[in-house]
Structure 1
Amino acid sequence: MLYGAMKVSVGAGLKVVFRPWVEGKEHVPAEGPAILASNHLSFSDSFFLPAVLDRKVTFIAKAEYFTSPGVKGRLTAAFFRGVGQLPVDRSGARGAGEAAIRSGIAVLERGELFGIYPEGTRSPDGRLYRGKPGGLARVALATGAPVLPVAMIDTEKIQPPGKVVPKLMRPGIRIGAPLDFSRYQGMEGDRFILRSITDEVMYAIMKLSGQEYVDIYATAAKRMLADEAKRADEGGGSEGEPEGASKG
């Protein structure tokens, strides 16, 4: 089986080279469905977490990783399938969200582990950002699966954006006790319930990770940082320039 081969080769390699430490592994059930809701610091998060667990963890990944042409594209697609990632078309924000929810439900209905990043994207600066209420909460309510908060520690320091050669250091993983949201069963249409569930999970992740929490979405933070960088490159612009004029 491709996943098994990749688990042995990639997982064993990561453990030997980086020696990740893990706390709370006992919270992961030996069998049955569970949702692993993690902060997201690095591209490597989806590899380090499965590497330290005995069970398969399925994450979702953008469809482009599976459809790129040429030999490199085929190898990339094989790699991502081999490490347990599912393609999701992100061409439309709403469509992508619905596809991710359906994929998560299908994984959990098979009695497997589903990994999800409630922030929706990697943190731009190592802080923890507001969780998006649509995916995680809806999957949890639709399946009744317990949610395990997960904190990735220092993975962003191994290979910061723009760096090709990774830094040899020990990342960490903390897995918290499962959160049960069965009290909200049948209320997945209530946006306030979805927000409440997501915020409870994000609070648990914050306690595990020790990150500073920022109550805005990471996507918005990335846009602001990009705008600031662009204005800096342009020399700051003129005083009379309207807000947002430098956006591409």
Structure 2
Amino acid sequence: MSIQTATRMVLTPISRVAFRPVVEGREHIPPDGPLILAANHLSFLDSFIIPLMTPRRVAFLAKAEYFTGTGLKGRLTRSLLTGLDAIPVQRGGHRTAQESLELALEVLNQGGAFGIHPEGSRSRDGRLYRGRTGVAWLALASGAPVVPVAVLGTDRIQPVGARLPRPGRITVRFGAPLRFEQPPGISVGRARRQVTDDIMAAIQHLSGQQPAEAFNDLALTP
């Protein structure tokens, strides 16, 4: 049995008891083939909950520091992230962000599912921030469908700054898949912006969050 299978077998029932998740739209998840899950981001917990509530393995990017911690907490975090197919990345500038996207593209080219938070970092005030165009880069480069995802309640269960989650109820909503192609007659940059805005509009429709009409300055990805 792989560590990924074992991790899901252990964490899925625990999360169902602790967080009493309501999962909607699971039928929108294709059973195989490349897939991008584009989700809002309210809590550190989001990248754990989405893979556990999705009926297939999903890879996410995670800060490399999470894989190098020491002591019991460090070993536990590293084991959980490895078991959930997290990909360690260094935080940095544009070059580092592009390298992260290329790692994600490898997952998609191998027929896997990849999760991304287009806002780049957790919302501190509950609003939905503008998406960075990395998600559009992935969608146009891979041709993979994009399933918008809204995760609600994780900001109450583990707010920014909280060391551990507390029991509560969460909701995960999967929307209908979106497909994109490079439109003729417009620049690549403009196309990526339009695709990203369409994806964020679909997430906002699912989450009901107030749009921030601004970028999250703490974002990790472009």
Query: TM-score with structure 2 length normalisation?
Result: 0.91
CA distance in structure 2 between the aligned counterparts of 1:28 and 1:153, rounded to whole angstroms: 19
Name the structure 1 match of 2:26: 25
CA distance in structure 2 between the aligned counterparts of 1:16 and 1:84, rounded to whole angstroms: 23
Q: Is 200-209 or 4-13 further displaced after alignment?
A: 4-13
Contact 1:11/1:47, CA 8 A, preserved across alignment: no
Query: TM-score with structure 1 length normalisation?
Result: 0.82
Q: Which segments of 5 or more consecutive residues in structure 2 lack a partner in the other structure?
A: none
Partner secondary structure for residue 125 of structure 2: coil
Q: C-alpha displacement at 1:164, in angstroms?
A: 4.0
CA distance in structure 2 between the aligned counterparts of 1:214 and 1:148, rounded to whole angstroms: 21
Q: Which segments of 5 or more consecutive residues in structure 1 lack a partner in the other structure?
A: 222-248
**1:220–1:86 CA distance, 2 compared to 1 (3 A):** closer
**1:64–1:163 CA distance, 2 compared to 1 (3 A):** closer
Contact 2:182/2:191, CA 8 A, preserved across alignment: no
The ranges of structure 1 where at least 4 consecutive aligned residues each deviate by more than 6 angstroms after the TM superposition are none
CA distance in structure 1 between the aligned counterparts of 2:82 and 2:201, rounded to whole angstroms: 31
**1:167–1:71 CA distance, 2 compared to 1 (3 A):** closer
Matches within 5 A, 1:96-245: 96-133=96-133, 135-164=134-163, 166-184=165-183, 190-219=188-217
CA distance in structure 2 between the aligned counterparts of 1:165 and 1:61, rounded to whole angstroms: 18
CA distance in structure 1 between the aligned counterparts of 2:71 and 2:171, rounded to whole angstroms: 36
Q: Which amino acid aligns with 2:143?
A: G
- Choose between structure 1 and 2 for higher RCO, CA contacts under 8 A separated by at least 6 residues: 2
Name the structure 1 match of 2:45: 44
Which structure is larger by alpha-carbon Rg, 1 or 2? 1
Q: Between the two proteins, what is the percent identity of the paired residues?
A: 46
CA distance in structure 1 between the aligned counterparts of 2:161 and 2:63, rounded to whole angstroms: 20
Query: CA RMSD of the aligned region, Å?
Result: 2.0
**1:23–1:168 CA distance, 2 compared to 1 (3 A):** same
Contact 1:38/1:150, CA 8 A, preserved across alignment: yes
CA distance in structure 1 between the aligned counterparts of 2:51 and 2:74, rounded to whole angstroms: 23
**1:31–1:79 CA distance, 2 compared to 1 (3 A):** same
CA distance in structure 2 between the aligned counterparts of 1:197 and 1:173, rounded to whole angstroms: 23
1:159-205 CA distance string (max 9 Å, x none): 212334533221001111111102549x8x72111100000000010
